[in-house]
Chains A and B, each alone.
Chain A
């Protein structure tokens, strides 16, 4: 739900804001150390990206490797290999030289997921990844995220799309400024539980 604080939660996980209370640990490490270890991958919301930016898909994925490179970020053979592998895994190898905005909504998301793959991120954050994405691409992305989770990555998705939830996630958190409920998607989606979040909206 808008204004529930999920963007702020993501920012806290990435260490962009300091939580007023509590601590954030990623695999037991504070966010700064997790970032330096290249553990945190981030897939931005569509409206936060300048799609006219003159970069090719391959260039965007390559920025996932910057943390492994020297201070001029000159790509090495290993970096090119990781990028090619990531592009292959999300099925964008043929479109690697397209300008990033010349992709469809679903392909754009996959490009950013590929960046997280090239980075080898073990915690992947996706902010509303299914907004403006057609059903088929959504299924492709869901399958991809499932694979990543099966490989041991922690994939965190913020979404309004309740219908897609059971197929997407093993665990769901109902969130309204604080964690209301943390359970299986089926449990969270029961009407009386959803009312916890949506019913509160009407209250002052």
Chain B
């Protein structure tokens, strides 16, 4: 039992049990969604949506609405604005993304500065795992379950959208609608992960797990298992590390996730740096002989 004590001891506190539940849910949902985001090439979009929810969160606190509602509204607003600017002007998509999300993020900062607040800027920006209220926990679990259910049921269509939207169109599906679905799921997922790692670091959970899994397998169906495992595992490890090292919880979770990526990048059996270098060195040796 003594071996397990360091693992069980933190769980005697309710705030740690809540933090663990939020981390696991955020890790699983973000991990699954990140598989599509990295393959479609929507990393910047993930960054944009996660930053753009800031004013929504602040306004929700001001009017006493659930923070998830405000965040979701502004996430969808950001997505709509980006699409509108891209489609109705000569501005390219990455520029449209850059303009829209920085503006909304800045609006959030302005709102915070004029809000006589119990809203702590640091908590919104960098997460507040240890201060998640019961109501927040329920929101996170419900929204996470909804996002997860939709994503699992529509996974084949989303993968087709990521791989070959023209074929999707040719067989009578609507790539535009599938893209909108993925963006909606992105907004929902950002809201789920907000409490865990904050507005600034959500994007790490939305990209790194999928990128790590892509290094480890050539099968999308396996990516869908590896990515959430990596994300939730890093979340748990990071949470415990932050408890014992007394460090920022969101920060520690994301650093752990980054280390997991680094390991895969270097040591993945087929696509890792070491393996590919070793293989090319061997090829050179063989050709020399």
Contacts and interface: CB of A to CB of B under 8 A. Distances in A.
Are A and B part of the same complex?
Answer: yes
Given A54-B217, A63-B164, A36 B153 contact: no
Size range of the interface on B?
20 to 34
B159 interface: yes
B162 interface: yes
Contact of B164 (A14, A35, A49, A71): A49
Nearest to A16: B169
A50 B160 CA distance: 12
A178 interface: no
A119 B164 CA distance: 15
Contacts of A72: 153-154, 156
Nearest to B39: A53
B220 A55 contact: yes
B220 A59 contact: yes
B173 interface: yes
B136 interface: no
A182 to B, nearest CB: 24
Contacts of A60: 163
A188 interface: no
Contact of B172 (A16, A38, A44, A53): A38
B3 interface: no
A35 B171 contact: yes
Contacts, number: 78
Contacts of A54: 39, 214, 217-220, 222-223
Interface in A71-118: 71-74, 99, 102, 115
Nearest to B160: A63
A169 interface: no
Q: Tell which of A32, A44, A49, A73 has the most Cβ of chain B within 10 Å.
A: A73
Nearest to A125: B170
B17 interface: no
Contact of A99 (B160, B168, B169, B218): B218
Contact of B167 (A15, A59, A63, A74): A63
B172 A35 contact: yes
A53 B157 contact: no
A40 B163 contact: no
A41 B170 contact: yes
Interface string A41-71: 1101000111011111001100110110001
B163 A38 contact: no
B272 to A, nearest CB: 15
Contacts of A67: 171-173
B172 A56 contact: no
A41 B172 CA distance: 11
Nearest to B223: A54
Interface string A145-164: 00000000000000000000
B34 to A, nearest CB: 13
Contacts of A16: 166, 169
Q: Tell which of A15, A48, A66 has the most Cβ of chain B within 10 Å.
A: A66
Interface string B145-180: 000000001101101101110111111110000000
A38 B159 CA distance: 19
B166 A14 contact: yes
Interface in B153-210: 153-154, 156-157, 159-160, 162-164, 166-173
Contacts of B167: 42, 44, 63-64, 115
Contact of B170 (A42, A71, A99): A42
A53 B163 contact: yes
Contacts of A52: 214
A55 B163 contact: yes
Contact of B166 (A42, A56, A71, A74): A42
B172 A36 contact: yes
Contacts of A119: 171
Given A55-B220, A99-B219, 16 more contacts: A35-B169, A35-B171, A40-B170, A48-B166, A53-B162, A54-B39, A63-B160, A66-B156, A66-B157, A67-B171, A67-B173, A71-B157, A73-B156, A74-B156, A99-B218, A115-B167
Interface of B: 39, 153-154, 156-157, 159-160, 162-164, 166-173, 214, 217-220, 222-223
Sort A-B residue pairs by CB-CB distance and give the 4 closest, nearest first.
Answer: A73-B156, A67-B171, A99-B218, A35-B172
7 contacts: A36-B172, A59-B220, A63-B167, A66-B160, A66-B168, A71-B157, A73-B156
